[in-house]
Amino acid sequence: MTNPTDPAVDSPGKPNLTLQCGLGDSTPIDIAAPSTPRTPADEGKEFFLSERSEGEAPIRVYEFKLGADGGPSKEGSYIRLPPAYTPYILRVSLDAGTPASKNGVFKTNFPLDGGAFERDRFTERSLPTDLSKPIRVDLPISHAGAFVYWVEYDGDAPGERIKGREGYFNVDPILRVRARTSVLSSELKPLLPSEGGAKLLPELVNLPLDALSILTVVSKWMGRISHWKVHFQEASDRGYTMLHWTPLQERGMSDSPYSIKDQKKYDLSVFDTPVDPQTASTRMEEILRIAKEEYGLLNLTDVVLNHTANNSPWLAEHPEAGYSPSNTPHLTPALELDTAILEFSSSLSGKGLPTRVSCQQDIDTLMASFADHLKTKQLWQYYVLNPEEEKAALTDAFLSNAIIPWTGEDLAGKTVVDLANVVRSARLIEGEGTLTSRFVTHVDGGVSAGFIKAAFPKLGNDVDALAQAWARVVDVLNVPLYAEWEEDTEIALDSIKNRSKYIRLDDNGPKLGEITKDSPLVESYFTRIAPQWHSDPGTYSLANNGWLWNADPLVNFALPPSKAYLRREVIVWGDCVKLRYGSGPLDNPWLWEHMTSYVTHSAQTFDGFRIDNCHSTPLHVGTAMLDMARKVNPDLYVCAELFTGSEEMDLLFVRKLGVNSLIREAGNAWDVQEFSRIMYLFGLGKPIGSMDEACMTSVEELAPPFGKGPTRPCIVSPLNGSTPHALLYDLTHDNESYLDKRTAEHALAVAGIVTFGYCAVGSVKGFDDLYPKLLRLVEEKRQYEVAGLSDNSGISRPKRVLNSLHREMVIGGYTEGCVWRDSNYIVMTRMHPVTQHAYVLVAHTAFEKRGKERGPFKPSELARTRAKFICGFAIEILSHEGLPAKLIDLPEVPVEQKNLTSEPHCSFGPPEYFPPGSIMIFETQLEQVDLELDKFCKSDAESAFGGLDLVDLNVVLHRADNEERDITAGKFGVYDIYCGLEGWMHPLRHITRRNDLGHPLCDNLRRGTWALDYVVSRLAYQMDDFPNLAAPVQWLLDRFDRVKSNAPAYLRPKFFAIVMTEAYKAARRAVIEQCSEFVSDGHDFTHSLAMCAVQMHGVVKVCVARPTAGLPHFSTGWARCWGRDVFISLRGLFLATGNFEAAKNHILAFSSTVKHGLIPNLLDSGRNPRYNSRDSQWWMLQNIQDYVKMAPNGLMKDNGFNIDIYVDWDTGLVFGGNADNCGTWMDKMGESVRAGTKGTGAPIEITGLVKSTVRWLDELSRKGKFPYRGVERSVHSEDRFVTYGQWNDLIQKSFEKHYYIPLDPSEDQKYILNPSLVNRRGIYKDVYGSGAGREWSDYQFRPNYPIAMVVAPEMFDEHHALHALRLADTVLRSPLGMKTLDPSDRKYRPNYDNSNDSDDPSVAKGLNYHNGPEWGWPLGYFLRAYLYFDTRVGEGKDDPTTTLHRLHRALLQPRNHIQTDAWAGLPELTNENGAFCRDSCNTQAWSASTMLDFLEDVHEYAKS
């Protein structure tokens, strides 16, 4: 069966992006080739512009979300995408209003608009500018390669453009091979080639990278090219799909395939008769074509970019291609040291020294003598200053009057040591550390003359005395330089000693023989290629390549400041000269042209590259070469082995080079646990029962990515970022055999385990044949034996089955797996996620020599599953050398059928004879598979949940514990946070995105059906109160009953997740569809805030009113419903979301409770309402005004209530409140003494609300829509009728004078204030006219004035207002809200703890509630005010987007919080700098409401 996400067979309706011809005709078919060749990108564009074809499958869309700064997360910095069998879409999305969206431009070097790929040519897509809607950019992907992207956007400074972090996406190549029949018979028995098993078929199939089975071969051991077909047949019969060829080029003198003599010539020795290079190339290409077309074997070769053979003929003509002292001068002393080793090695017998090493004493003797020899070379001269030359240069400067006066610090009287320190700190020394020549380190004579003259003024012009003084300074300067030389020499000698011991004495070394000039003490670091005896050795002595322990792969160890060659730290390859590319082609034109020609020709010939020594390949070289290779072969497969020692560094190479697979080695595992870990990391695929594909994908309509063309259906899948794909080898060609590393028997177990990995797999010729030892690439002269599948072919028959099954399982879509270990056993399972058909491998590992006992193993128990034995093998090693060996076919292993826990089970385990190294394979099939269960669970959710109203949806989606217990009389509570769907979705989002099947919820679901029963039962119980729940209850019941009946326990988490996810999506859609256009067309943050309206608006029995102030603290009882909270929240949660009926009902409900002009602050269901606030009624009046303006037909009839307040009719300001009254939201009533945050004056927010109300009433009155013109009042003991217009004018006239605190103290006389109480200027007072003894509270800087700015902006001087807002932005704004008090205020206490019972009166009983803790809801008013004033007189006056983007930055943390917090809301308050506050409601109505208010303002602003 084909995996729809990684298809192996062409789907109908797709363009023919990769042209294939019939196997009977090797000539490519020419289809009207245009004059300008069409590229894959052109074909992809053409596809999206063309009309849909009949039967065309939905387009795949892979969506990746960027961060606020336009860059990917660390884990998302690399994305691996599937082959473009059919063009698809990479969708890049980011949240609206994030910094990166400010005039943002998405850039990538993928040729989105067609044409050929060029690394430095970028296509741009402008990001949408609507801040109210999600930002998406759809990128049509049509071909393979490695690509980079980033977002560029406006910064804060004028004209500044910011480049976001780069991200990378690699598209897998399309590989196609001949199809094959199954390797198993209909009775599940392995078939040999003669029996038709795994027979090659004429048609071609797409081969995903995971289906690759690669065999490494060394051509020089394959005999003549005419004999290669038998090797092809053997590899094909053994189930391989690709041959990895070590380099086929002409080899250098060492005969190593990796020491290439001429990159443009194939090895002529493989041909039967002498041929010229061109004929050799043609015949080599032909034999590789035969391997591919006749034997189903793709071809991959090593590409060696780092070095060339030391006898490459072109080196003498182009010595600049290597590193020499001539072009890399710091190598000069390293060459001298290397020459000294050669001299010493050729003189041993004359000195009476041992010429053969037989013991450690010989090594010590030789090294002691060499150390003496090295001293004669005086290499210290490359480090230090020459005192005599320094004195001479100084003297010459005096005599030629070339003194450069010293202008630095006073030097007179300083010691010689101090003077030396000044010389160093002033950087007067030239040439230090360059090592380019002897005594290159020096100080300019004119500089030293001026310096020493200033240091010794008493010496006057006595040149000799001054020269001697300078020499003393030079002696001090040389001290650390001599020390550096001594350290380098010590390290070099130690390296030479260790290396000589390894190559001449150690048992695991090559044990080289006599020491001579041609076989020196240690390998030479330089190849000397001088064409003539008099040629310059500095030009024709080229550094050999090698590697360093723990080296930074990004640092070229042949370039300064590296001293690796001088310190003899390079593990050198004496047969290879390191190539010098420079920074680009201009630095070495011939070499770049030569190597580019080599690479492009190889890319035309082969299907893939293995980048040899990739970690030492300069990144810019590898990138450029692979770019050129992909131009001639866009579907080139690239793999590499990296030894960087860092996953992060590995990823850097993968991203930059476009490496498709990183080579991993199973042989690195030292025990069962480590092997299991390797297989889990690189070969698991997805765990069995994975949910991401089922739960995270969505079906949508795809708009034409080019603006033209048809709309297409699409399937959208989110991306999390990728890890590098693995090519997992059981054994590589340069590693010791398992006989040497573990045991010979272990090989079969490793082969089985590796091939059951969902990844590309590889092996080396000889592993299947059980070759006992590593074949040395240089020394080995024998040729391969072709054993086929014969009795003496080692484990080739099992390997044929394993390789074939590996290919069949990947192509068939067996994406899910399990790795399980038990004692010395590893069990690998590969399962198809739909059919539940699986193959199981049981492998008995043999990491160490043990007896032939089976050992402990717990048999596999599989519920509702039938199993059948396929085959099993063991090997008997007949010699401790590893060969010969006997392959044993295990007899049929019976499967036991039994009943456990009322369900049928099958059980199987190893037979009695199952020695270490054995494997067996079973087929399993879940019985009575419900193939339609997935589809059924996803069906009809819209109709089931679409009929629910918002109160019903509160029951379905939310309900805190106390709410649920209240309405169900204690029968139901919560599992975690909410009883409804939102409570389940918090863990499920993580589980489904990461396939975290080890989560406790999954364990709970596997153990039983309690969660399923709970979800249905709690809703069914409440159907009498909420009859609309009948439809969702029945929908859930139908699906869960079918899951219980048809899904085994291990799949229960998956299907529970599918049902809950579909239900949640349908319920959430039902909410959004009942909301206003502002919400329904908005982005995710708007939607999540709108969900809070449903969260807060539910029914409980003990409280008549529905809204709660916050959860969980205000869920039920007397504390649920607060007048002030309702009316601060009503605009955002009800009016902005379009729930006008609920808004009206709440206004009317509270209007009915008016008493003495007040409404209750705490309603308590009407039983004991508390009329203890003086701002609640003003908030209600503001809401009535908002309702009238926002709701259709919103003008309500007069309800005839009057408001009894105290007004200062000289100013129009409203005063009131007392010590026992919670006058405003900041006047908390404590248990001991009052918090004391506001006095009895006129709070600025009430003044703003009053101003807004009387202004509005005046407008209504003038239009005849309100029957009252004003109020009857006693003003200065005289009854007067004050119109609303007059009242409005009084406030307007007096406001700034009474509230503003000017920046400039000289302006204080214009305002009513006491300068001695001013703490901060350029702000507005929080209160005007606090009572006696509390006058200081007027001047506190708090976040209340933005409320007045929003409801009555006309009161404020616009420039004053904007300055105060900017101050609030820097002083008061916090991550999730606003500080309730200026941190510079002496009463500032930012951390709230209601349980504090200390003797500190400022915090006891939580009385610092509003003296520093950071409340959420004022943030919305601050943002609204800032938007208003900044677009009028600030940065946004000329460009409003500047303001909008600035303010949207303040939304980043609230947005992240609501999306990640389990309560799915915004908290009531936080402690200092956004820290969690345990006494806060986790989700608060007004916190979400005012944020919706701001976003609705933005929406309306954009519309206007």
Would residue 227 show up in a list of annotated catalytic residues for this protein? no
CA distance 70 to 163: 8
1318 burial level (CB within 10 Å; 0-12, 13-18, 19+): middle
Given pLDDT bands bounded at 50, 70 and 90, which one contains residue 1380?
very high
Tokens, residue 1317: 């109480």
Average pLDDT (1381-1385) is 96
Average pLDDT (162-185) is 96
**Which stretches of 190-257 are assigned E, i.e. beta strand?**
200-206, 213-217, 242-245, 249-251
Long-range CB contacts for residues 440-445, cutoff 8 Å, separation at least 24: 440/382, 441/383, 441/384, 441/385, 441/481, 442/385, 442/386, 442/389, 442/390, 442/393, 443/385, 443/390, 443/393, 443/474, 444/393, 444/404, 445/390, 445/392, 445/393, 445/394, 445/395, 445/396, 445/397, 445/402
Give residue 900's pLDDT: 60
Give the DSSP letter of residue 962. Answer: H
**Which stretches of 290-423 are assigned E, i.e. beta strand?**
298-303, 307-309
Give residue 1041's pLDDT: 97
Which alpha helices (DSSP H) does 416-564 contain, by range? Answer: 416-425, 445-455, 463-504, 537-540
**Residues in CB range of 327: below 8 A, 6 or more apart:** 320, 580
Measured N-to-C along each axis, helices 1000-1007 and 1010-1021 cross at an angle, to the nearest 10 degrees, of 90
Average pLDDT (356-382) is 96
pLDDT(1163) > 80: no
Given pLDDT bands bounded at 50, 70 and 90, which one contains residue 1237?
very low
Angle at 7 between CA 810 and CA 203, to 5 degrees: 85
Give residue 1216's pLDDT: 67
Given pLDDT bands bounded at 50, 70 and 90, which one contains residue 1197?
low
Give the DSSP letter of residue 1131. Answer: I
Give residue 1046's pLDDT: 94
Range of weakest confidence among 118-132, 363-377, 424-438, 553-567: 118-132
CA distance 600 to 617: 17
Give residue 1221's pLDDT: 53
pLDDT(15) > 50: no
Percent of residues, the chain, with pLDDT higher than 70 = 94
DSSP 3-state assignment of 731? Answer: coil
Give residue 26's pLDDT: 35
**Residues in CB range of 79: below 8 A, 6 or more apart:** 62, 64, 90, 167, 168, 169, 170, 719, 721, 722
CA distance 530 to 316: 7
Average pLDDT (351-359) is 94
> pLDDT tens digit string along 739-796?
888 999 999 999 999 999 999 999 999 999 999 888 888 888 899 999 999 998 999 9
Given pLDDT bands bounded at 50, 70 and 90, which one contains residue 23?
very low
**1347 contacts 1421 by C-beta, under 8 angstroms:** yes
Closest by Cα among 1322, 1191, 1185 to 1254: 1185
Closest by Cα among 609, 624, 660, 631 to 173: 660
CA distance 368 to 635: 57
Give residue 14's pLDDT: 30
Tokens, residue 522: 């240690």
> pLDDT tens digit string along 618-656?
999 999 999 999 999 999 999 999 887 788 999 999 999
Would residue 725 show up in a list of annotated catalytic residues for this protein? no
Give residue 1154's pLDDT: 81
1278 burial level (CB within 10 Å; 0-12, 13-18, 19+): exposed
pLDDT(882) > 60: no
pLDDT(1235) > 50: no
**214 contacts 300 by C-beta, under 8 angstroms:** yes
Give residue 1196's pLDDT: 58
Q: Which residue has the tokens 């069914």?
A: 1020
Catalytic residue from among 210, 612, 1125, 1497: 612
Would residue 734 show up in a list of annotated catalytic residues for this protein? yes
CA distance 811 to 208: 7
Given pLDDT bands bounded at 50, 70 and 90, which one contains residue 1?
very low
Given pLDDT bands bounded at 50, 70 and 90, which one contains residue 1233?
very low
Given pLDDT bands bounded at 50, 70 and 90, which one contains residue 1232?
very low
Average pLDDT (1394-1406) is 80
DSSP 3-state assignment of 1239? Answer: coil
State the virtual CA torsion across 75, 76, 80, 85 in degrees, nearest 10.
150
Give residue 379's pLDDT: 97
Tokens, residue 1167: 């039983």
Tokens, residue 884: 């010969």
Give residue 776's pLDDT: 86
**662 contacts 725 by C-beta, under 8 angstroms:** yes
In angstroms, how far is CA 1493 from the centroid of its own chain? 34
What is the chain's mean pLDDT, rounded? 91
Element containing residue 1426 per DSSP (H, E): helix 1417-1433
Q: Measure Cα distances from 741 to 679, 731, 796, 1105 in Å.
A: 19, 11, 21, 76
Average pLDDT (53-71) is 94
Tokens, residue 1105: 């009113």
**334 contacts 565 by C-beta, under 8 angstroms:** yes
Tokens, residue 1396: 């504090």
pLDDT(880) > 80: no
Tally of CB atoms within 10 A around 11: 13
Catalytic residue from among 143, 594, 615, 1087: 615
> pLDDT tens digit string along 222-247?
999 999 999 999 999 999 999 999 99
Average pLDDT (1246-1264) is 94
CA distance 1291 to 1348: 12
Given pLDDT bands bounded at 50, 70 and 90, which one contains residue 974?
very high
**Residues in CB range of 154: below 8 A, 6 or more apart:** 102, 103, 160, 161, 162, 1445
Give the DSSP letter of residue 1028. Answer: G
**Residues in CB range of 831: below 8 A, 6 or more apart:** 688, 814, 816, 817, 818, 837, 838
Give residue 1202's pLDDT: 40
Give residue 20's pLDDT: 32
Strands 1414-1415 and 1469-1470: antiparallel
Its pTM stands at 0.90
Given pLDDT bands bounded at 50, 70 and 90, which one contains residue 1147?
confident
**1298 contacts 1213 by C-beta, under 8 angstroms:** yes
Catalytic residue from among 444, 734, 740, 1308: 734
Report the sign of the C-alpha dihedral through residues 1123, 1126, 1130, 1132, in that order: positive
> pLDDT tens digit string along 494-510?
999 999 999 999 988 88
Give the DSSP letter of residue 1135. Answer: I
Q: Measure Cα distances from 590 to 307, 319, 558, 561, 780 in Å.
A: 15, 11, 20, 26, 35
Nearest-Å Rg of the Cα atoms of the chain is 41
